Structure 1
Amino acid sequence: MQVSQYSKQQTCSSTSPLTSRCGLLKMLVMEEREGETSRVELEGLPGGAEGFESAAKFCYGVPLEITNHNVALLRCVAEFLDMSEENGEANLIFQTENYLEDLSTKTLKDIVETLQSCELLLPMAEELYIVRRCIDWIAAKVVLEQDIQWNQKNAIVVYDSELSQSYHSECWVDDISGLHISFFQRILLAMRERGLGADGIAGALVSYTQKSIIGLCRRKNSYHNNTILKPNKINLSDIPAATRHEQRIFLETIVRLLSKEKIAVPVGFLIDLLRTAYIIETTLACKLDLEKLISAQLHDATLDDLLLPSFTKQDGETQCDIGLIHRLIASFIELQYDDDYQYNMPEVYEEAHDLSNSSPENPMLKVGKLLDGYLAEIARDANLSLSKFIALADILPNCARLDEDGLYRAIDIYLKSHPYLTDAEKNRLCGLMNFQKLTQDACRHAAQNERLPVQAVIQVLYFERSRLNKVMTGRVASENVINHTADTQIQHKMSNGLVSAALWPKDDYTSVRQENIELKLEVAKMRMRLSELEKDHLHMKLDMEKAHALHESIHHHHQGLLQTFSKSISKFNPFHNHKPKLSFYSCHQKYNRGQKSHSHLEPHESPIMKASSQASSFEAQRNAFSSIYEHHLLS
């Protein structure tokens, strides 16, 4: 019998070493009919020709070294050929199993090498529990032998533009980074079952993903001067389609792992995953899952994280993906009122809903500050429409901003970058602000800001005046309770010239400042009144032009009718050879002079009344000409 495996062929008989140690081949030889030579193809043999060659060497006594790289292959080949102890003492199954048991005492790197070799031996490597044993050994070594001290300071917050250096202090992370995603996922879960901390799992996942996805790297965005860095330094269009498909599958698996197992990773890492998901065009479900994960930690994001470029190549599109940020903030607000979110993250939920908590660490306040900074960055974009800007700025509740200086700055930048806005659009834009929540410096700037509409300036000055009145009222009340003895001493010193009236310079400054605000308020009111008068004047001018145009139209219409009527009369004149004493034209001119001397228009007549008067005049003219024509015929 000839046994063939691709290019490898071996002739077997009942007495050959290969047949004596391989139960499968022994059975095939016994079934062979006498006097016939058959050819058997060993389809499905693990490792193919290489596996068959290794088994043949072992059977013929050729020295065969079992290593970390080939032990899984030899174990699977031995199982396939039935090289058990029944078919020979110290057979291949026995020797490979001994090596695997000793593997648990070796280094983590040795076990990882064996597990990595199992990728091409599935599903037999799974059926023989080689994969499961390697995963358990790796998890046990990481948890028991390594002194893992992952903490928020040196493992999570360190995530920056040099991500590859963030986790190099943990050698085990580097050792398992080359494994297939399915193996890596099972290792993480096994380590968590054995007590590995959440930070350690998150750190390993971040490092593994960064090394596996092409182009996934942190870098600082630059949005100034209307420029923004490319999404990735690597042109993914140059990567083969098969590789892009593998990257897509890998990323979707990572996202499912994050969502299902609720592994907490830095929000910056999630945003990088989302950026990559848009580039390699993952499924919509993958992108939505990432958006949900990001929105839950949006309060930990930075401004650079949010400056994601727009991946739609359309004319008139903004440089940044504003719609994405709108969805993230809307999802963040929705989560604050979600019962499941309140149960799973009670600390974040309570901080976000504690309106009395004005700490900078309040999640809602942090998102409010983050949004104001984002608005200031995108306000320079010439393609950013007013409706999009207002929709994004107005999405947060009132409790998300302690003051509105950041929003005012963003609005001012938008007004400066979009000078073509009408007064109505400016008023609509400024309607986003609560002027009572502007600080003193912002109010001072707004009162002198010529880009703001007059109505907005008046509101600023009005609230500033009210604020000063409260300050003055409070100061007077406090002065009334000043210790009488101290007041007497001060008056005594002032009478002796030791203390001048300038002892209270703040009072004088406040009074002068209040008077200044009063004057500015009056000037602003005058500006608004002047603007209204200019609008009224413009409307009156337009009405006059319309009335004049209507009058001219009626006048030309009358002239045309009279000329037509005159030509008609001349055609019917039987005395065209006889020169009349009174011409028709002279009668017409005489009649017009008479009409003008006896008719006039009231100064306040409307265009409709003028048109009616003109029509009546035309009727009178027609009757008069009829009488003249009859008189001319009779004469």
Structure 2
Amino acid sequence: MDASSVKASSLALSPYSSPNVGALLKIKINAWSQETGLPVSVRVRVGEKIFDLHKYPLLLKSGYFKKALSESTDIQLPHDFPGGSEAFEMVALFSYGASTLIDPFNVASLRCAAEFLEMTEAYSPGNLCERSDLYLIQVVLQNWDDTLIVLQKCQLLLPMSEELLIVSRCVESLAFMACMEILDPERRRERPIVTVDILNSKAWSSELVKEIAGQDLWINLISLPFRFFKRIIGSLRRQGMKEKYVSPIIIFYANKWVLSKKMHQVCDNCNDTNRSDDENTEISTILQGIVDLLPTGQKASRVIPVGFYLAMLARGLRLGLTSDSKARLQNQIANLLHLAIVDDFIFPQSHTELISSSVELATMENIVSASLLSNAAMGHVPSDSNSRVAELWDKYLSYIAIDPKMGPKRFMELIEKVPISYRKTHDHLYRALNTFLLEHPDISQEENASVCKYLSCQKLSQEACIEAVQNDLMPLRLIVQALFLQQLHTHQAFKDCSDSFRYAHCGEFSGSLSSSRCPNPKSQLLGETPSYEADGEGIARPLGFLLQKDAVMHSSELSRKDYESTSFRIQNLEQELMSLKRSLQWKNNSNEPEHPVKPTTMRTGLEKRSLSKKRNPVGQVTSCIGSVSFASQRKHASRLLKVFRRITLLGISKSKRKPGASGRTKSV
């Protein structure tokens, strides 16, 4: 039969515009009786419906009726007859020579019914088997929506629809059209194919995934039964579709049938126990199948967010996922754990009596341990991945620590899951310890000290360290350590500030400046500051001693003291500059030959600096240089050093010219 005629007649008779099939069949039966003068002689029972038909049209088209009517005219079709009474009604209409009402909604049932009734070319040319096959090939399999409709209908026609290759042909056709849509040689696609890259940096959200899935070109695939869906995924991979396009389809399917809020409500519904158990079993079967479809290894790390694996594992723990599938998910999560965020972690359910002994916590322990072992096997110890895992684990412990029944020993075991050396910062560990101590106020001092022994003040941020010092829950040892560390930081800050203004090369200066400014080069190499302050006994003490003394007295005002110390340093430089200018003026007035600046002159400058310190307390900056920012102060200090060089050289040149000038005056 001509395929174009099949297509034209089929499209003209859609299920929405066709007349009532039952009424049309009655018209054909009456017309046949009038033309032949023969009454109906065959009774066919299909389910609860009875059809009174003529014998000859059935014998002409069907091999099944040719055999059955030789024994009896009262035939009972089996209860699993493909398509039921609706399909047989159309078969009977076709047997009377009426136009075949084939469309995507009934072509599968007609093909299966025709096969059951043996309506092949051996009994009549252009029989129903050939017509339905042509419609499938020429019409249905060329259109995406029609193929999906037929595949949906095949669910009720198993296993015959499988034996007739209707399912496999639809699956391969859908996969082929999907691959062609990706290639899009004519560039007809208005928007790119949807991927899940946006989910890599966000916490897993079923609503967000549902919104993204609504933009996908193949959204209808996720409405298929899972037995067909998994075959389409396999065909997509065989035909060469890239994993970054295949994996999103799997994620969308899992989100609809396993992870969505609707499925959670179905599982939590206990009103109808038997129904709930059946649905839970179905969801568990789908979950198991999806785990088998997921890619593994490096392919998965590039296309599937780790939050999806964690969400699947969390559902699997409640639905009774098999041990192999849980192990597979845990291994994949362990390889990608450093890419996760703490909101994706599996948290114990609110109804769990003991968080410390929950299966969710035990699962996360196994995953963290496997992740660290995986990173160690790759030769990255410690690595950025391990540090990231340690940070995530400490954040997770902040939630776990709220369990009032968790003992100190168990909490210490959880902390030790990640080696202390992997933690670049202890801020999150401090938060977890603080939460634990708040929830367990009755533990002894010894237990408190044991739990807090993992905390190192050297790895705490400035804010966390200050908070730890003021926290009454922290042990005394930790507070003392934090105070001592702050003292060292203060001393180092003062020392660095002092060193930044020290002359690195004393030999660059000549005359009185070099001899008075660097009287002890060795002390410069040892890091001692060449500044002195006279005490009551006249003993000069290095600035390092004064800095240490000042650090002990003012450790609580670190930032302010750093700034004020810099300002005071620059004020001293200004005083030195003024003293040096007066020294040069004194040399010019005395007309003496060049000689180093007397120690008394420098001593006077130091005394003036001491007096200046008394007149201008730290923090009361009155000079123009002290009023600028710290960064600009360093620039001004560098300029001052250049001024020192010029003034020194100017004084030398003037002192050399003075003797000649005075000689000429005497001769005159």
Provide the TM-score with structure 1 as the length reference. 0.65
- Which residue of 2 is the match for residue 153 of structure 1? 197
Deviation at 1:94, TM superposition (A): 1.0
- Which residue of 1 is the match for residue 633 of structure 2? none
Deviation at 1:466, TM superposition (A): 6.0
Tell me, yes or no, if structure 1 residue 273 matches structure 2 residue 316. Answer: no
Tell me, yes or no, if structure 1 residue 236 matches structure 2 residue 236. Answer: no
Which amino acid in 1 is paired with 2:255?
Q
- Which residue of 2 is the match for residue 543 of structure 1? none
Query: In structure 2, which of residues 108, 112, 123 is the aligned counterpart of residue 72 of structure 1?
Result: 108
Query: In structure 2, which of residues 548, 551, 571 is the aligned counterpart of residue 513 of structure 1?
Result: 551
Counterpart-to-counterpart distance in 2, 1:81 and 1:166: 47
Tell me, yes or no, if structure 1 residue 166 matches structure 2 residue 212. Answer: yes
Counterpart-to-counterpart distance in 1, 2:140 and 2:201: 34
Q: Compared with structure 1, are the counterparts of its residues 491 and 354 closer, same or farther at alpha carbon in structure 2 (3 Å cutoff)?
A: farther
Counterpart-to-counterpart distance in 2, 1:485 and 1:321: 70
Query: In structure 2, which of residues 147, 152, 163 is the aligned counterpart of residue 116 of structure 1?
Result: 152
Q: Compared with structure 1, are the counterparts of its residues 216 and 364 closer, same or farther at alpha carbon in structure 2 (3 Å cutoff)?
A: farther
Tell me, yes or no, if structure 1 residue 177 matches structure 2 residue 216. Answer: no
Deviation at 1:480, TM superposition (A): 7.3
CA deviation string 1:455-503 (max 9, x = no partner): 33344455556666777787888887713267889979x99xxxx999x
Which amino acid in 2 is paired with 1:163?
V
Stretches of structure 2 lacking an aligned partner (at least 5 in a row): 1-41, 185-191, 518-530, 534-541, 557-668
Which amino acid in 2 is paired with 1:266?
P
Counterpart-to-counterpart distance in 2, 1:203 and 1:244: 24
Match runs of 1:206-605 below 5 Å: 206-213=251-258, 215-216=260-261, 235-238=268-271, 240-241=275-276, 242-258=278-294, 265-283=304-322, 285-306=324-345, 308-310=347-349, 313-314=352-353, 321-337=360-376, 349=378, 353=380, 355=382, 362-461=384-483, 482-484=504-506, 512-514=550-552
Q: Compared with structure 1, are the counterparts of its residues 421 and 73 closer, same or farther at alpha carbon in structure 2 (3 Å cutoff)?
A: same
Q: Percent identity?
A: 26
Q: Secondary structure at the match of 2:45?
A: strand
Q: Is the 8 A contact 2:141 2:170 kept in 1?
A: no
Q: Compared with structure 1, are the counterparts of its residues 399 and 102 closer, same or farther at alpha carbon in structure 2 (3 Å cutoff)?
A: farther
Which amino acid in 2 is paired with 1:376?
S
- Which residue of 2 is the match for residue 22 of structure 1? 62
Match runs of 1:135-150 below 5 Å: 135-146=171-182, 149-150=193-194
RMSD in angstroms over aligned alpha carbons?
4.0
Deviation at 1:170, TM superposition (A): 1.5
Q: Compared with structure 1, are the counterparts of its residues 365 and 185 closer, same or farther at alpha carbon in structure 2 (3 Å cutoff)?
A: same
Q: Secondary structure at the match of 2:241?
A: coil
Which amino acid in 2 is paired with 1:130?
I
Q: Secondary structure at the match of 1:368?
A: helix
Deviation at 1:74, TM superposition (A): 0.9
Q: Secondary structure at the match of 1:84?
A: coil
Q: Compared with structure 1, are the counterparts of its residues 452 and 315 closer, same or farther at alpha carbon in structure 2 (3 Å cutoff)?
A: closer
Q: Is the 8 A contact 1:3 1:10 kept in 2?
A: yes
Q: Is the 8 A contact 2:90 2:101 kept in 1?
A: no
Deviates more, 1:194-203 or 1:459-468: 459-468
Which amino acid in 2 is paired with 1:310?
Q
Deviation at 1:93, TM superposition (A): 0.9
Which amino acid in 1 is paired with 2:423?
R
Deviation at 1:22, TM superposition (A): 0.7
Q: Is the 8 A contact 1:368 1:396 kept in 2?
A: yes
Counterpart-to-counterpart distance in 1, 2:546 and 2:509: 19
Q: Is the 8 A contact 2:114 2:128 kept in 1?
A: yes
Q: Secondary structure at the match of 2:417?
A: coil
Query: In structure 2, which of residues 113, 120, 131 is the aligned counterpart of residue 95 of structure 1?
Result: 131
Q: Secondary structure at the match of 1:87?
A: coil
Counterpart-to-counterpart distance in 2, 1:135 and 1:233: 30
Counterpart-to-counterpart distance in 1, 2:500 and 2:510: 16
Stretches of structure 1 lacking an aligned partner (at least 5 in a row): 219-230, 339-348, 519-635
Q: Is the 8 A contact 1:216 1:276 kept in 2?
A: no
Counterpart-to-counterpart distance in 2, 1:406 and 1:108: 53
Counterpart-to-counterpart distance in 2, 1:307 and 1:501: 63
Counterpart-to-counterpart distance in 2, 1:487 and 1:326: 66
Which amino acid in 2 is paired with 1:27?
K
Tell me, yes or no, if structure 1 residue 128 matches structure 2 residue 164. Answer: yes
- Which residue of 2 is the match for residue 205 of structure 1? 250
Counterpart-to-counterpart distance in 2, 1:390 and 1:487: 61
Which amino acid in 2 is paired with 1:192?
R
Which amino acid in 1 is paired with 2:216?
E
Counterpart-to-counterpart distance in 1, 2:433 and 2:385: 23
Deviation at 1:232, TM superposition (A): 6.5
Deviation at 1:200, TM superposition (A): 1.7
Which amino acid in 1 is paired with 2:343?
D
Q: Secondary structure at the match of 1:298?
A: helix
Q: Compared with structure 1, are the counterparts of its residues 38 and 66 closer, same or farther at alpha carbon in structure 2 (3 Å cutoff)?
A: closer
Deviation at 1:105, TM superposition (A): 5.6
Deviation at 1:106, TM superposition (A): 3.6
Q: Compared with structure 1, are the counterparts of its residues 192 and 488 closer, same or farther at alpha carbon in structure 2 (3 Å cutoff)?
A: farther
Q: Secondary structure at the match of 1:4?
A: strand
Counterpart-to-counterpart distance in 2, 1:386 and 1:354: 28
Which amino acid in 1 is paired with 2:348?
P
Q: Is the 8 A contact 2:43 2:53 kept in 1?
A: yes
Deviation at 1:135, TM superposition (A): 0.8
- Which residue of 2 is the match for residue 193 of structure 1? 238
Which amino acid in 1 is paired with 2:212?
S
Deviation at 1:426, TM superposition (A): 1.1
Deviation at 1:325, TM superposition (A): 2.5
Q: Secondary structure at the match of 2:270?
A: helix
Counterpart-to-counterpart distance in 2, 1:145 and 1:108: 11
Counterpart-to-counterpart distance in 1, 2:512 and 2:216: 71
Counterpart-to-counterpart distance in 1, 2:455 and 2:427: 9
Q: Secondary structure at the match of 1:383?
A: coil
Q: Secondary structure at the match of 2:158?
A: coil
Give the aligned length. 477
Q: Secondary structure at the match of 1:85?
A: coil
Counterpart-to-counterpart distance in 2, 1:464 and 1:199: 51
Counterpart-to-counterpart distance in 2, 1:324 and 1:486: 68
Q: Secondary structure at the match of 1:451?
A: coil
Q: Secondary structure at the match of 1:413?
A: helix
Counterpart-to-counterpart distance in 1, 2:58 and 2:424: 84
Deviation at 1:454, TM superposition (A): 2.3
Counterpart-to-counterpart distance in 2, 1:21 and 1:42: 19
Counterpart-to-counterpart distance in 2, 1:41 and 1:112: 29
CA deviation string 1:365-414 (max 9, x = no partner): 22111112222333344333322321111111344211222212322332
- Which residue of 2 is the match for residue 5 of structure 1? 46
Q: Is the 8 A contact 1:12 1:19 kept in 2?
A: no
Q: Secondary structure at the match of 1:195?
A: coil
